[in-house]
Structure 1
Amino acid sequence: MALQWLSLVGTIWLQSISATNSNFPAYSSQLKLLLSLSQLQLNNLAFASDAGKLFGFVSGIAAVYLPLWIVLLIGSSLGFIGYGVQYLFLLTEKISSLPYGAVFLLTVLAGNSICWINTVCYVIAIQNFPFDRQLAVGLSTSYQGLSAKIYSDVIDVVFKKSSNSSTQRARSYLLLNCILPLVVCVIASPLIRVIKTPRSRRLSGGFLVIFTITILTGTYAVITSLGSRKGLVILMGMCVFLVAPLGVPLMEKLREKMENKCMIRRYGKRVCDEGSMEEENGGVVSEHGVKDEGVFVCEEEEMGVKVMVKSLDFWLYFFVYMFGATIGMVYLNNLGQIVESRGSSKTSSLVSLASSFGFFGRIFPCLLDYHISRAKYKVSRPALIALMMVPMAGSFFLLLNDSTLCLHISTATIGICTGAITSISVSTTADLFGSKNFGVNHNIVVSNIPIGSLLFGNLAALLYREQALGSEDGKCMGIKCYQTSFIIWGSLCFLGTLLALVLHSRSKKTYV
């Protein structure tokens, strides 16, 4: 069991540095200036980072045929190239000679590298914790929300002298995005492995400890983000919180040694078999599934890609995700422009607010799943997604009010719902289509993100430009700038809620 917990710690470390695309705003303005880009071209570069997910299925195929540590190194190498080439051109101040198409492709490559790291983390969480997959996935992926905070802390300490200039700060982020994932992947690769164990039981004790550490880590990140003090102490504190989960596998290893000693003292030698271990841990295996601690888990229906894309459930799920989490991401990507159009200067505080609530949104399904799994009446994950999409749809219509309070409430709500849906979706894919081909299947599902980002993001940009016609600087001011976009996004989110309920009615037998 210690190795299982150690693998989860490895995924936590990987997820905490995987969201390198969240740093794009830190140097996007500099690229716009050096390459003389229009706002639409800059938006397309933001889309390029998401476009890497269109090729995420390649990482899923690789995870089936290659050792996971090789998949990790391939992913980090792609990011090393994508960010590294941009850094070299910016360092030599010859980035203006780099064609726009090349910058676009390098950004796609860097965005695709995230898929490889995430695929490995998802596979580990699902395979090593079959009865607690939502807990494992939710806890590990929640650390993605800390990536921007971690990178910012490292920049403020390591590159403090060079972070004053916007050009130097851009170089620092590109260099860190290039090196840090590669270093962490090399460190975590020995921990990342699928553990074959005959024991199948719930592991609530260890998850409770890690859940507590995660909450404390998120709280620490929020508190230190609100303060003006930056420095080595804050970075060291974050490192301590990231290392703290190692206590769980260490305690589990100590417990196993103590149990072995007790068995030897009692019987003279350790004697057990798979049947007695399963019975001892309250697990009984049948030909149709596994019953663990009184909870029956149906055998998953394994689907390949060809079968999956032909099923109605897939397309229902595809558009549920697109009209839910993807629209939430599009809103957050446009948050800076939305805040500016309302005449506010609190962009950074709202971005921090959305990030913080997104972090806790990813954790929320873990706590909910922990209690629901022990309840007499179960709630399907598509129903949970529908539950999260209802307040999100309402938030878009609330944004039609020009009040600053409504802006803060809506942003916080969209952040927490987007994070929750993203976390729930990982386990939902495994529930609907099986865990055997999960790496490929889930990357096919999340291909809706770049598609939705392109469609909904460019639609908002065109509507914004239409409202800005006649202004001297091309800027649009007032609620009218995004009014139509909010109505469209809210309506689509409401439609996604209905589709999620249809998916629930079709798949609820899986959760009986």
Structure 2
Amino acid sequence: MVFAFVAGSSSVAAEALTTARFTRQVLSGRWFTLFACLLILSASGATYAFGIYSRELKSALGYDQRAVATLAFFKDLGSNVGVPAGLLSEVAPPWAVLAVGAAMNLAGYLMVYLSLAGRVPAPPPLWLMCAYVCAGANSQAFAGTGALVTCVRNFPEARGAVLGLLKGYVGLSSAILAQIYLALYGGGDARSLVLLIAWLPAAVSVVFLGTVRVMPPDHRRPKRSTHRGRGGGGDVFLCLLYISVALAAYILVMIVVQRQASFSRAAYSASAAGLLVLLFLPLAVVVRQEYRIKKELEDSLSHAPAVMVTVLEKSTVMPLAEPASTTTDTPLASSCVGSFLRHTFSPPAHGEDYSILQAVVSVDMLILFVAIACGAGGTLTAIDNMGQIGQALGYPSKSVDAFVSLISVWNYAGRVTAGYASEALLSRYRFPRPLALTLVLLASCTGHLLIAFGVPRALYVASVLVGFCFGAQWPLLYAVISELFGLRRYPTLYNLGAVASPLGAYVLNVRVAGRLYDAEAARQHGGGSLGAAGGDKACFGVECFRTSFLVITAATVGGALVSLVLVWRTRDFYRGDIYAKFRDGVVVESPVDGGPSAAEQRPSEEGSGGRVNGGQRDD
């Protein structure tokens, strides 16, 4: 009996040890990092809820439409100008980037809340409110850099799916925050929503600070599972896609039901509980995937001789492979200025690792900048003014709130569709991602025209088109940047590409839409110009936004034509297998982690300056 008791105790201890090891494997794996990033980004899109509380800003602080448009510009400026976040990511680990973002989120939005609630000695001037909004919105850039860039480096062979999935959760975030806000505060007070925006995203980031880090693929797994096999992750991304679709559908149903029926606080709490279940459901997928990896590793260890041969081959061959030659080598006889200019204006092939300056001065980055400034600037103008557009066209306030929430859902749909569909089309048919971007820009023109001409009952369709096309632009932009310019400086280049959006929004929203709206409102109210604190003089009728959105449509068509130039310039690059180097066991690590970059680890395929994987020089 004693022996049986000892044996039983040993068995329990062994099981507990096995469970502890597996739990540690799950929590330290790259799939759990992906899950953590999904939660962080699902709470980080507070900027898309601006349309809900912008009317509170307008009435409580006495702003006119041009002042609200200026606040919207600084909101877009903060959320998209993430160059400081990118530069910090070059020298600091992801947790530091997330921590800075959490602090900025709390400080910025808390001051906005205190201003709306009258808890400050005097109403802040417009420039100070712009600073508060910009600081709070800039936290989104830090969260996106810390989470999204990390996941792209962890899954370089599936970056389209990763970008679409993560940016999709960002697109849903405002609707998620709205549902949680209804459960906690019961609705009816936009100031409480701003308070929730201040503390919840910061809290989520702080909880997962220790789990978000760069972890390249585990090459200890059998070769058959490194790409599309069971352990490669293709089915995991499909499962995560299905869960995100279920989440979006659930939110859509809740929006419709809550607009049609009267909900109590308990009913709002029940709907939020269902939302949280769907938010945490990806954790089950992560655990299942880690269990598969564990079983595959155990099976491979049962064939120890074969594994040892593979390990020896990698340990002897890889160090002997010479690093890819880049343009950073400087001839000894050249002057410093001359070598710097040659280095900057003689970029490597498409797909290789560009320096920041090489990418900034390249024609490809200029084309992307112009296309996104026109495309995202126009769709952002529609999103930020959706409340005023609905009011001008005579829609009830309940419908206007539904438009804002629907834009969030369709924003998600555009991001996920563009990410997954472009990845599938690229891998199967070599369909270039820049061409997909062109098609998205042209599709958004339909939504702009529906707003411009005030087609009866068409604002529902316009909100769908605008939200979908706005969302679809981002995974395409970020994937194209990572593919053309490499991953070594991706944190900074990723944020440089996003700078185009607020600049385009400033021109199209503040200088065009805001100015024309106030001019029409002044005409309807008897003439005279409206000051920055001239009161809430609303504009009614299709004339309020007609000229503005005709200008936006023309600008978007121009951006689409410019993007066709990039399609032509990269046609040879996208005909090749641009991900072959990642499937061959290349390690992509952040420079701050001390690991080799893609360029340092990858052996030279055709010598320096030659075409690699279908890429061609940019000179």
SS of the residue aligned with 2:156?
A: coil
State the AA in 2 paired with 1:338: I
Q: Find 1:176's aligned residue among 189, 196, 210.
A: 196
Structure 2 counterpart of 1:295: none
- Superposed CA offset, 1:166-187 (max 9, x none): 4xx40x2232222111211122
- 1:390-421, CA deviations, whole angstroms, 9 ceiling, x for partnerless residues? 22123323444432243332331222111111
Structure 2 residue 422 is the aligned partner of structure 1 residue 380: no
Structure 1 residue 84, shift from structure 2 partner: 2.1
Q: Residues of 2 paired with 1:28 and 1:393: CA distance?
A: 25
Q: Which amino acid aligns with 2:462?
A: S
Contact 1:53 1:443 in 2 (8 A): no
Match of 2:482 in 1: 430
The amino acid across from 1:182 in the alignment is A
Deviation at 1:140, TM superposition (A): 1.1
Contact 1:392 1:414 in 2 (8 A): yes
Q: Aligned partners of 1:288 and 1:219: how far apart in 2?
A: 47
CA deviation string 1:433-476 (max 9, x = no partner)? 22111111121221112211211012112122333343238443
**Structure 2 residue aligned with 1:259:** 296
1:12 and 1:47 map into 2 onto residues whose CA distance is 27
1:450 to 502, 520, 534: 502
1:219 aligns with 2:271: no
Q: Does 1:152 align with 2:215?
A: no
The residue number in structure 2 matching 1:292 is none
- Structure 2 counterpart of 1:123, from 149, 152, 158: 149
Note if 1:48 corresponds to 2:74: yes
- Equivalent residue for 1:307? 358
- Are the counterparts in 2 of residues 35 and 100 from structure 1 also a CA contact under 8 Å? no
Which residue does the alignment assign to 2:541?
478
The C-alpha deviation readout for 1:278-309, integer Å capped at 9, x for no partner, is: 9xxxxxx99889xxxxxxxx972222232222
Mapped pair 1:207 → 2:260: no
Question: CA–CA distance in 1 between the matches of 2:305 and 2:433?
Answer: 48
Q: Structure 1 residues 363 and 231 mapped into 2: Cα distance closer, same or farther (>3 Å)? A: same
CA separation in 2, counterparts of 1:374 and 1:275?
Answer: 32
What are the Cα deviations for residues 84-121 of structure 1, in whole angstroms up to 9, with x where unaligned?
23334555633634333322211111111111001112
Q: For residue 349 of structure 1, what is the aligned residue in structure 2?
A: 402
Which residue of the other structure, out of 176, 186, 190, is the alignment partner of 2:210? 190
**Counterparts of 2:573 and 2:483, CA distance in 1:** 7
Equivalent of 2:36 in 7, 10, 26: 10
| Conserved? CA contact 2:44–2:170, under 8 Å | yes
Which segments of 5 or more consecutive residues in structure 1 lack a partner in the other structure?
A: 279-284, 290-297
CA contact (8 A) 1:260 1:270 kept: no
Given the superposition, is the C-alpha separation of residues 95 and 46 from structure 1 closer, same or farther in structure 2, using an over 3 Å criterion?
Answer: farther
Q: Given the alignment, which residue of 571, 574, 578 partners 1:508? A: 571
Q: Is the 8 A contact 1:80 1:182 kept in 2?
A: yes
| Cα distance in 2, alignment partners of residues 54 and 204 from structure 1 | 30
Task: Give the alignment of 1:354-369 within 5 angstroms.
Answer: 354-369=407-422
Q: Which residue of 2 aligns with 1:241?
A: 278
Shift of 1:315: 1.1
Q: In 1, Cα distance between the equivalents of 2:172 and 2:79?
A: 21
Distance 2:218 2:87 in 1: 26
* Aligned partners of 2:108 and 2:133 also within 8 Å: yes
- TM norm structure 2: 0.74
Residue 331 of structure 1: how far off its partner (Å)? 1.2
Distance in 1 separating the partners of 2:514 and 2:560? 25
Deviation per residue, 1:349-406 (Å, 9 max, x gap): 322332222111111123313432442x311111010111222123323444432243
Paired with 1:366 and 1:32, the residues of 2 have a C-alpha distance of 36
Instruction: Provide closer, same or farther for how the CA distance between residues 400 and 268 of structure 1 changes in structure 2, counting only shifts above 3 A.
Output: closer
Q: CA deviation at 1:269?
A: 10
Query: Which piece of structure 1 moves more, 24-33 or 45-54?
Result: 24-33
| Structure number, greater radius of gyration | 2
Shift of residue 428 of structure 1?
Answer: 1.1
* Residue 386 of structure 2 corresponds to residue 335 of structure 1: yes
Say whether the 8 Å CA contact 1:53–1:447 is kept in structure 2. no
Contact 1:83 1:106 in 2 (8 A): yes
Percent identity (aligned): 24
TM-score, structure 1 normalization: 0.89
Residue 252 of structure 1 deviates from its aligned partner by 1.9
Q: Is the 8 A contact 1:139 1:362 kept in 2?
A: yes
- Determine helix, strand or coil for the equivalent of 2:217: coil
Q: Does the 8 A contact of 2:51 with 2:383 survive in 1? A: no
- CA deviation after TM superposition for structure 1 residue 271, in Å: 4.1
The answer (yes or no) to whether the contact 1:323–1:492 under 8 Å persists in 2 is yes
Distance 2:430 2:111 in 1: 50
Return the match for 1:82 from 108, 117, 120: 108
State the Cα distance separating 1:34 from its structure 2 match: 3.7
Moved more, 91-100 or 441-450: 91-100
Match of 1:20 among 46, 50, 55: 46
Distance 1:99 1:407, change over 3 A: closer
Q: Which runs of 5+ in 2 are unaligned?
A: 1-24, 220-225, 316-320, 326-348, 527-536, 576-619
1:32 pairs with one of 58, 75, 98: 58
CA distance in 2, matches of 1:426, 1:184: 24
User: What residue is the counterpart of 1:492 in the other structure?
Assistant: 555
Indicate the residue corresponding to 2:442 in structure 1. Answer: 390
**DSSP-derived class of the 2:211 partner:** coil
Does the CA contact (< 8 Å) of 1:304 and 1:441 recur in 2? no
In structure 2, distance between residues paired with 1:342 and 1:85: 33
Once residues 541 and 54 of structure 2 are traced to their aligned partners in structure 1, the CA distance between those partners, rounded to angstroms, is 25
CA positional deviation for 1:29: 3.3
Q: Secondary structure at the match of 2:122?
A: helix
Contact kept, 8 Å, 1:34 with 1:96, in 2: the verdict is no
Q: Distance in 1 between matches of 2:461 and 2:376?
A: 17
Code of the residue aligned with 2:466 in structure 1: it is I
* Number of corresponding residues: 491
Shift in alpha-carbon separation, 1:159–1:393, aligned structure 2, 3 A: closer
2:517 is equivalent to residue 464 of structure 1: yes
Q: 1:324 aligns with which of 366, 369, 375?
A: 375
Q: Secondary structure in 2 aligned to 1:131?
A: helix
Letter in 2 for 1:385: L
CA contact (8 A) 1:55 1:112 kept: yes
Instruction: Answer whether contact 2:160 2:420 (CA < 8 A) is retained.
Output: no
Determine the C-alpha separation between the residues in 2 that align with 1:467 and 1:446. 32
Query: Do the aligned partners of residues 391 and 92 (structure 1) sit closer, same or farther apart at CA in structure 2, a change above 3 Å counting?
Result: closer
**Which whole-Å CA distance do the structure 1 matches of 2:306 and 2:569 have between them?**
52
1:84/1:178 contact within 8 Å kept: yes
